[in-house]
Structure 1
């Protein structure tokens, strides 16, 4: 059985450490064939800490790399060759032999270039205090340009054709310069050299490669960011240019002749966090000092890292827009004790329209609805509190009931050795009323 790993929050729930555990060798279990990245790009920040103390923030490489599991960057990925080279160097310094040899890249994957990143940063600066919380790495620009100019958007396969890539990069640079002004980016020839080196050091593959991987053994699909940042279902405009639900991975499975062949694993942490602006109804600034984050902080483009109590309506909304999950992985189960029992779960909101214990959904594509929803959430305050205390099992029971799915992985710390699998917990949250439905 294959597994799709998706964050049910605003990102940073621990997808990397969950994938690391799934890829770790286990007695009697078939080894994972590959980790497939299926959305986003180099803006991902999936932190993995090994039992011997090594730490890496995975961006484009799959989070199973420390176990020697290969990574496949699918056609749905936005590939940044420059960032990929830097990541490979860090992995090599940590003892991973020949990291790029573990990598395959679909030729159709779109390229993120220095021109996309420069345009992204220029637009975000121009927003002033109304910034969206972008990572500043050009992900949205890459997606937007590919939609506007699909035939001219550079791809990984273009890196083997200097003439084609030169034409596409020149068009890209000139169009963005005409729109925004001069870009703080290197000349086209310098980009050509770097991208040619990328093509020389990675294996570019055709669309049938994934089908072969799926026939070889179990595959883990590693998602980026979180469902509450989804381009269609997130709280607009504080969203990403990426589908962050299970849909992208399931489309790839269908294309490869294996529809419905994967377990949907949703990742949540015991407290709700987000980077930068946008709704965080349960935010509690006092939790930041109780629950410091070793690998999350204020980012130049994203803004501050914010912490709140567990937001049951928001996570239930994520489950609903995903079409349900098969199971949950719960991380940061040590946090309730570290918070000295301060952590709680909010099961409803007070809003100007009354009490909500259910965030209304709408079919994908109605961004006006999403923006109105964002305004309501920004005015909401949490209520209907539940206090599971400091017992990790009580938290798993409460989360399992609130999100209507069994907990199959518990994470009590940063390494694979801190994970427990297979309990399948369920319990109760305060009964939901019809209000807000």
Structure 2
């Protein structure tokens, strides 16, 4: 593998990798292959790049002995930049929702996307870090927008208007980012794709997709294969679509979770996923074939599946599988046949309301691999029985992979 390409989301990703020697890192923006010497990361134009979080992640990798992560990083010039002002706006808006929180990660990804859509000529992008005057104008615009949108009120200790760095301080950090990484044009990635082995690494599951997910508990990002396939098509290439799922279901934060089982949540803690101040609780449930079928169709199908946490399933006879929901007096085995087709968020919100009333029909989980293959109509080509590469069994070699959580 030569390069890991990130093609959606931003610094909110949390991809935990445990090396065979015990080192652990939660990859957010660097590709999850960075522990392997020589493997590069490319942040595509679909990635929302947070230079401050990237610097912190780089320092953690340095502490683990990876001293050249920045030297192996390229960033597309058109990638939107997440600033401290976007992050502060994200947290202020989520806090204002009170008990109706959406479960944001609090990293500013949604605000970055929304600002770029509303103000395309003012949104800072990676290439601006090579043009200091333009960068200052755009950082100032975001700073002033944030202050106007969320004015501080010291007399009431209103949580809005939290402290943020000055534009000067932001300039210093963003210019240092530009000096540390290689910012490239649109021609770079097609050249790599035509000549090297590449893995596309997605972020967040398909059920959180901005158009296909269960609105409003979603992300401002396309979490299907679509962005990766656009980048491949521009190079005249195709990829192998690999869907990634656990042998049981999980969700971080609020939103529909039909197969959630409080007993499993308390009894199956994840060492690298806990409750967060913004995202909320880490929740666990039984394998949900109904939701997974919906995710596969929303993503346009998969060529193969990677099934993880099989070591957990092997030791948990109480884990089950749900092949149907009990909903409004009916048995539902399949969710709408064309999920998200019309980008109709009202329809997605109505689906969310239905799912919040659904109850699972749980059956015993037999052979997880066979059950998943039968439910989704695709082969399991990678099985994982533990946290390291040594715990994996795969029949997939030499393919240009697009990996995405379902």
2:120 aligned partner: 150
Matched, 1:367 2:345: yes
Matched, 1:270 2:247: yes
Matched, 1:334 2:311: yes
The partner residue of 2:87 within 112, 117, 127 is: 117
What is the alpha-carbon distance in structure 2 between the residues aligned to residue 347 and residue 80 of structure 1? 40
What is the alpha-carbon distance in structure 2 between the residues aligned to residue 215 and residue 172 of structure 1? 38
2:193 aligned partner: 214
Contact 2:211 2:340 in 1 (8 A): no
Matched, 1:311 2:288: yes
Matched, 1:293 2:270: yes
2:164 aligned partner: 185
3-state secondary structure, aligned to 1:79: coil
2:4 aligned partner: 35
Matched, 1:246 2:219: no
Matches within 5 A, 1:46-57: 46-57=15-26
Could you tell me which runs of 5 or more consecutive residues in structure 2 were left unpaired when the two chains were aligned: 153-160, 397-406
The partner residue of 1:347 within 323, 340, 347 is: 323
Deviation, structure 1 residue 257: 2.6
Contact 1:317 1:358 in 2 (8 A): yes
2:13 aligned partner: 44
The partner residue of 1:378 within 353, 356, 373 is: 356
Contact 1:70 1:102 in 2 (8 A): yes
Deviation, structure 1 residue 362: 4.4
3-state secondary structure, aligned to 1:136: coil
What is the alpha-carbon distance in structure 2 between the residues aligned to residue 108 and residue 362 of structure 1? 27
Matched, 1:422 2:399: no
3-state secondary structure, aligned to 2:259: coil
| Count of residues paired in the alignment | 384
2:202 aligned partner: 223
What is the alpha-carbon distance in structure 2 between the residues aligned to residue 33 and residue 229 of structure 1? 29
Deviation, structure 1 residue 268: 0.8
The partner residue of 1:237 within 205, 208, 216 is: 216
1:88 aligned partner: 58
Deviation, structure 1 residue 337: 2.9
The partner residue of 1:106 within 57, 69, 76 is: 76
What is the alpha-carbon distance in structure 2 between the residues aligned to residue 327 and residue 47 of structure 1? 22
1:163 aligned partner: 133
What is the alpha-carbon distance in structure 2 between the residues aligned to residue 52 and residue 159 of structure 1? 37
What is the alpha-carbon distance in structure 2 between the residues aligned to residue 150 and residue 338 of structure 1? 52
What is the alpha-carbon distance in structure 2 between the residues aligned to residue 338 and residue 196 of structure 1? 51
The partner residue of 2:298 within 303, 309, 321 is: 321
What is the alpha-carbon distance in structure 2 between the residues aligned to residue 208 and residue 413 of structure 1? 39
3-state secondary structure, aligned to 2:120: coil
Could you tell me which runs of 5 or more consecutive residues in structure 1 were left unpaired when the two chains were aligned: 1-31, 424-437
3-state secondary structure, aligned to 1:67: coil
Deviation, structure 1 residue 353: 5.4
Residue by residue over 1:254-278, the C-alpha shift from the partner in whole angstroms, topping out at 9 and shown as x without a partner, is 12232xx100000010111101100
What is the alpha-carbon distance in structure 2 between the residues aligned to residue 102 and residue 202 of structure 1? 8
Deviation, structure 1 residue 338: 3.1
